[in-house]
């Protein structure tokens, strides 16, 4: 007797002569279960809170894997099965069938169905606890074959199963043998089987909240979205509905990435001939930022900030470009118009931030001029309002086509002050590196327009500031909350604004400012300010207490063990965090590199992901506007891998040939941003691996992962194979049960069916049947 090639069936002679083989086979199919798991749905994504409460599987109304539409599908399948029962049968078996069906909606659905990995076999019924299975067998054992007949039609239509007569040979013995029946349905892990998983206090504590480790570190995951970049310093979006983003490299290139992840092969901008930089690791000079006009859909202009050398004088240049008239993915290189130039006394502390505020004005953040301690003049550049150095500037570049490059906003704070530069918006800053504008809470709008900046410290503290009009941020009198120049610090007229947060150099030595999360996909992260440190590679977060106005700190670490085991997610990254970014939908990213050199293709862009909870299906769906592309598209291929059984923080840097430097931090007497080999010995050692060593490390990690995730011998590697090598999306769980005392049926004259089998339809599995890619014989197990 033979079935289709993708269905596992016990040949009839073997089944008749070797009755003990069926339990053995089932044990092989229900292969060894791993003890660890994490909340995950059958679509390989985190659970969510439904838009509206569920009606049928009510226990999962607040958090689970079903929305109302899926809940209705489960309900329909339930009543399809129960339609064959009279009142007594409905009463006896309805509770079992309902409970089993509803496990598709459990936040631990993937674990119950053995579906945490898209490339491994999956159960068709949720794993039950032994005691519960015994009760099910005693009361409703024969409902299996009834449900199989009801549900078998859809599965046969999909080509997943053979005829009812063929499948009966596999299931007949189950209904008469409690041991075999429960071997077939049992999940060996007593903590995670149903219904124990519902009462496990440890599993259900803080379910749906961001997971924290024992030290309170928030465990998040990453998705690699771009790689092979040379010190990616900025990533922006056009806010034009295209959902493309623009990535700038320190060397002077800006690239366009489409919403599908592919890159246009022609650069959006190429200023490599004009940009002043070098291949030295840690050189702060170069192309540092780009900003598109806040009304880019109508005002097709871009603004760039880069280092230049003019007659051997190093300068910062802010220029304006217009979009090409024949290519929406390229600027007109001949349209450059210089907006502002500022002479730099030294080659470090170049600042490098451009952005448009909610007021429509262009903000420019310039460093204090370099060296150490702002040694220029009596009070330093930062406290001297007659220079642009050490300042946040605000200018108006609107309606400037037939006028001066910019005008001064009428409410700039120092217009009336003698000798003060009219462009100054705030002062007393040292070297603000990466600033962002808060979009505001999506529901209330609270916080909208706030301006956050990371200001790199001297030799003790790094700080995060909330920049306001006319504010004095204290440098060089203060560094963080501490006095730096004690004489200036005691000056009663200083009237400085303290940072919202400062941290000592034992945590990091060069802050990289970030963003407040206001996206849709990660509801747990709403309102969280996420930032990092260039030198230590540390990811950090701040959360505001809206009552007191205080900001509370939590470190962010990469999820360990199974936390990040979702498709496309990884849990390690390159150490040098250069910048943060926000896409058009408000999702957050950071840009990092393994080798901080403008010539090394070691830069990667990571999307920040919360594995604990996602938005309900459909809530965050977007439809990018079409973009006409001239040229070719370079498709993205991720290179980083998930790391298991390792405490992942940063990824070892690839080996590149760079000049050895002995620089210190971004804000010290040296001229670089600090790419030394003196921090974190373990990380530094990893960062100096050869490419061959790194390759071997990855192979080892991959092998370890395969070893860890191997759940059975090859004979139990039973999969629902498709042409893509991944399991097809199957419809809801369709369990099947019948009372021990066969219940009477409704007066439709139908007899209890005994020769049918059903599998899930187009959404998720329904019955505990495993499918194979190719047939095999069990004759080897015969005595």
* 595-645 pLDDT tens trace: 999 999 999 999 999 999 999 999 999 999 999 999 999 999 999 877 654
Contacts of 549 (CB under 8 A, 6+ apart): none
- Determine, yes or no, domain membership for 722: yes
- Determine, yes or no, domain membership for 631: no
Q: Which of 630, 632, 650 is nearest to 640 (CA)?
A: 650
Contacts of 340 (CB under 8 A, 6+ apart): 316, 317, 318, 364, 388, 393, 395, 405, 406, 423
Q: Which of 725, 719, 720 is nearest to 567 (CA)?
A: 725
For residues 404-410, average pLDDT: 97
pLDDT at 445: 96
Domain count, the chain: 2
pLDDT digits (tens, 9 = 90+) for 651-691: 555 544 433 433 333 343 333 334 333 333 333 334 334 33
Same domain, 423 and 569: yes
pLDDT digits (tens, 9 = 90+) for 446-467: 999 999 999 999 999 999 999 9
pLDDT at 259: 97
Across all residues in the chain, what is the average pLDDT?
Answer: 80
At which of 674, 689, 704 does a domain end? 689
Band of the pLDDT at 97, cuts 50, 70, 90? very high
Omega before residue 390 within 30° of 0, cis:
no
Residue 353 C-alpha from the chain's centroid: 25
Same domain, 201 and 222: no
Determine the straight-line distance between the first and last CA of the chain, rounded to whole angstroms. Answer: 20
As a whole number of angstroms, the distance between CA 572 and CA 772 comes to 34
- Determine, yes or no, domain membership for 337: yes
Same domain, 223 and 184: no
pLDDT digits (tens, 9 = 90+) for 122-154: 777 899 999 999 999 999 988 877 666 655 544
Report the relative pairing of strands 362-366 and 353-356 from DSSP bridges.
antiparallel
Tokens of 725: 């090598």
pLDDT digits (tens, 9 = 90+) for 65-83: 999 999 999 999 899 888 8
Q: Which of 105, 127, 223 is nearest to 636 (CA)?
A: 223
Dihedral over Cα of 394, 398, 401, 404: its sign? negative
Alpha helices, H only, 401-459 = none
As a whole number of angstroms, the distance between CA 660 and CA 229 comes to 21
Q: Between 168 and 351, where is the model more confident?
A: 351
Does position 300 have pLDDT exceeding 90, yes or no?
yes
Considering just the CA atoms, what is the radius of gyration of the chain in Å? 31
pLDDT digits (tens, 9 = 90+) for 415-438: 999 999 999 999 999 999 999 999
Same domain, 538 and 574: yes
- Determine, yes or no, domain membership for 638: no
Extract the runs of DSSP E, i.e. beta strands, from 423-467: 424-427, 432-437, 451-455, 461-467
**Of 9-13, 69-73, 161-165, which has the strongest mean pLDDT?**
69-73
Q: Between 717 and 269, where is the model more confident?
A: 269
pLDDT at 167: 56
Extract the runs of DSSP E, i.e. beta strands, from 293-357: 301-310, 313-322, 337-343, 353-356
As a whole number of angstroms, the distance between CA 463 and CA 492 comes to 22
Residue 187 C-alpha from the chain's centroid: 31
Tokens of 245: 């983003």
At which of 689, 704, 734 does a domain end? 689
Q: Which CATH number covers residue 479?
A: 2.120.10.30
Same domain, 304 and 400: yes
Residue that is written with structure tokens 């945490």 in the block: 116
As a whole number of angstroms, the distance between CA 608 and CA 10 comes to 47
List phi, psi (to 5°) of 574.
-70, 150
Tokens of 88: 């007594």
List phi, psi (to 5°) of 180.
-65, -40
Does position 562 have pLDDT exceeding 70, yes or no?
yes
Q: Which of 46, 67, 68, 135 is nearest to 99 (CA)?
A: 135
Tokens of 631: 């040229």
Count other Cβ atoms within 10 Å, centred on residue 196.
Answer: 17
Contacts of 137 (CB under 8 A, 6+ apart): 178, 181, 182, 740
Same domain, 433 and 573: yes
pLDDT digits (tens, 9 = 90+) for 323-370: 999 999 999 999 999 999 999 999 999 999 999 999 999 999 999 999
Give yes or no for a contact between 505 and 522, defined as CB atoms under 8 angstroms apart.
no
Under DSSP, the state recorded for 104 is G
pLDDT at 650: 61
Band of the pLDDT at 590, cuts 50, 70, 90? very high
Tokens of 733: 């769980």
Same domain, 195 and 236: no
Query: How many residues can be counted in the chain?
Result: 783
3-class DSSP assignment, residue 588: strand
Same domain, 96 and 179: yes
Residue that is written with structure tokens 């999307």 in the block: 607
3-class DSSP assignment, residue 372: coil
Same domain, 157 and 231: no
Same domain, 308 and 189: no
Band of the pLDDT at 200, cuts 50, 70, 90? confident
As a whole number of angstroms, the distance between CA 549 and CA 510 comes to 25
As a whole number of angstroms, the distance between CA 229 and CA 66 comes to 40
- Determine, yes or no, domain membership for 704: no
For residues 406-418, average pLDDT: 97
Alpha-carbon torsion, ordered 114, 118, 124, 127, to 10 deg: 10
Extract the runs of DSSP E, i.e. beta strands, from 594-747: 603-609, 633-634
pLDDT at 144: 73
As a whole number of angstroms, the distance between CA 379 and CA 749 comes to 98
- Determine, yes or no, domain membership for 111: yes
Same domain, 178 and 224: no
Tokens of 767: 């019955």
pLDDT at 651: 58
What pTM did the predictor assign? 0.79
As a whole number of angstroms, the distance between CA 302 and CA 292 comes to 4
Band of the pLDDT at 710, cuts 50, 70, 90? very low
Same domain, 350 and 429: yes
As a whole number of angstroms, the distance between CA 390 and CA 16 comes to 87
As a whole number of angstroms, the distance between CA 733 and CA 529 comes to 40
Does position 524 have pLDDT exceeding 60, yes or no?
yes
Name the least confident of 507-521, 590-604, 640-654.
640-654
pLDDT at 21: 43
Domain encompassing residue 137: 12-208+715-781
| Angle value at C-alpha 717, between 12 and 644, nearest 5 degrees | 160
- Determine, yes or no, domain membership for 646: no
pLDDT at 330: 98
Cα–Cα separations (whole angstroms), residue 657 to 132, 592, 595, 596, 625: 63, 18, 10, 12, 41
Does position 765 have pLDDT exceeding 60, yes or no?
no
Tokens of 748: 């439709």
- Determine, yes or no, domain membership for 683: yes
Report the largest interatomic distance among the alpha carbons of the chain, rounded to a whole angstrom: 104
């Amino acid at each position: 007797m033979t079935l289709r090639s993708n269905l596992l069936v016990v040949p009839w002679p073997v089944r008749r002569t070797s009755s003990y083989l069926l339990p053995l086979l089932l044990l092989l199919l229900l292969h060894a279960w791993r003890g660890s798991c994490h909340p995950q749905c059958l679509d390989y994504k985190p659970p969510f809170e439904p838009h509206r409460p569920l009606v049928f599987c009510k226990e999962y109304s607040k958090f689970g894997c079903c929305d109302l539409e899926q809940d209705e599908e489960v309900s329909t399948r339930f009543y399809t099965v129960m339609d064959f029962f009279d009142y007594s049968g409905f009463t006896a078996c309805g509770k079992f069938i309902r409970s089993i069906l509803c496990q598709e909606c459990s936040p631990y659905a993937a674990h119950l169905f053995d579906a945490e990995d898209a490339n491994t076999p999956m159960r068709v019924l949720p794993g039950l606890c032994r005691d519960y299975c015994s009760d099910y067998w005693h009361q409703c054992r024969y409902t299996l074959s009834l449900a199989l007949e009801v549900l078998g039609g859809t599965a046969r239509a999909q080509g997943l199963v053979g005829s009812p007569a063929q499948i009966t040979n596999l299931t007949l013995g189950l209904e008469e043998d409690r041991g075999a029946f429960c071997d077939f349905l049992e999940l060996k892990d007593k903590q995670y089987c149903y219904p124990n998983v519902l009462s496990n206090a440890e599993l259900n504590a803080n379910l749906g909240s961001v997971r924290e480790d024992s030290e309170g570190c928030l465990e998040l995951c990453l998705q690699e979205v771009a790689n092979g970049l040379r010190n990616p310093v900025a990533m922006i979006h056009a806010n034009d509905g295209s959902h493309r983003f623009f990535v700038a490299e320190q060397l002077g290139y800006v690239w366009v990435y489409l919403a599908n992840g592919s890159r246009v092969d022609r650069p959006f901008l190429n200023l490599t001939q004009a940009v002043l930089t070098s291949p030295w690791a840690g050189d702060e000079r170069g192309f540092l930022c780009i900003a598109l006009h806040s009304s880019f859909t109508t005002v097709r202009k871009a603004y760039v900030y880069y280092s230049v050398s003019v007659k051997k004088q190093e300068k910062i240049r802010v220029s304006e470009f217009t979009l090409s008239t024949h290519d929406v993915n390229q600027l007109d290189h001949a349209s450059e118009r210089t907006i502002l130039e500022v002479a730099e006394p030294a080659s470090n502390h170049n600042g490098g931030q451009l952005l448009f505020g909610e007021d429509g004005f262009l903000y420019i953040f310039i460093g204090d001029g370099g060296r150490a301690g702002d040694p220029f003049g009596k009070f330093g550049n930062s406290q001297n309002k007659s220079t642009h150095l050490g300042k946040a500037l605000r200018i108006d570049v609107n309606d400037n086509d037939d006028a001066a490059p910019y005008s001064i906003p009428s409410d700039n704070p120092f217009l009336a002050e003698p000798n003060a530069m009219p462009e100054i918006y705030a002062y007393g800053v040292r070297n603000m590196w990466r600033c962002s504008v808060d979009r505001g809470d999506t529901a209330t709008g609270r916080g909208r327009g706030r301006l956050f900046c990371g200001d790199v410290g001297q030799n003790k503290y790094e700080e995060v500031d909330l920049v306001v009009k006319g504010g004095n941020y204290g440098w060089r009198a203060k560094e963080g909350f501490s006095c730096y120049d004690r004489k200036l610090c005691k000056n009663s007229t200083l009237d400085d604004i303290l940072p919202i947060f400062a941290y000592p150099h034992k945590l990091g030595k060069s802050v990289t400012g970030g963003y407040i999360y206001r996206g849709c996909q990660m509801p747990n992260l709403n309102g969280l300010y996420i930032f990092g440190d260039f030198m230590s590679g540390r990811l950090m977060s701040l959360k505001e207490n809206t009552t007191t106005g205080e900001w509370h700190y939590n470190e962010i670490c990469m999820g360990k063990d199974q936390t990040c085991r979702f498709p496309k997610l990884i849990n390690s990254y390159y150490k040098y965090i250069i910048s943060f970014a926000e896409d058009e939908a408000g999702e957050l990213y950071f840009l990092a590199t393994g080798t901080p050199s403008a010539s090394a293709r070691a830069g990667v862009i990571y999307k920040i992901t919360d594995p604990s909870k996602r938005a309900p299906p459909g809530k965050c769906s977007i439809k990018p506007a079409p973009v006409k592309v001239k040229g070719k598209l370079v498709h993205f291929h991720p290179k980083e891998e998930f790391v298991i059984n390792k405490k992942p923080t940063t990824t070892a840097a690839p080996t590149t040939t760079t000049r050895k430097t002995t620089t210190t931090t971004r804000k010290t007497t040296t001229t670089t941003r600090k790419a030394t080999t003196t921090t974190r010995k373990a990380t530094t050692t990893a960062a100096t691996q050869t490419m061959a060593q790194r390759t071997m490390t990855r192979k080892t990690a991959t092998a370890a992962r395969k070893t860890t995730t191997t759940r059975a011998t090859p004979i139990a590697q039973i999969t629902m194979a498709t042409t893509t090598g991944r399991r097809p999306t199957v419809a809801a769980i369709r369990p099947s049960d019948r009372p021990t005392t066969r219940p009477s049926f409704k007066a439709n004259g139908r007899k209890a069916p005994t020769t049918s089998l059903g599998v899930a339809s187009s959404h998720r599995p329904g019955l505990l049947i495993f499918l194979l890619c190719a047939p095999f014989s069990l004759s080897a197990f015969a005595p």
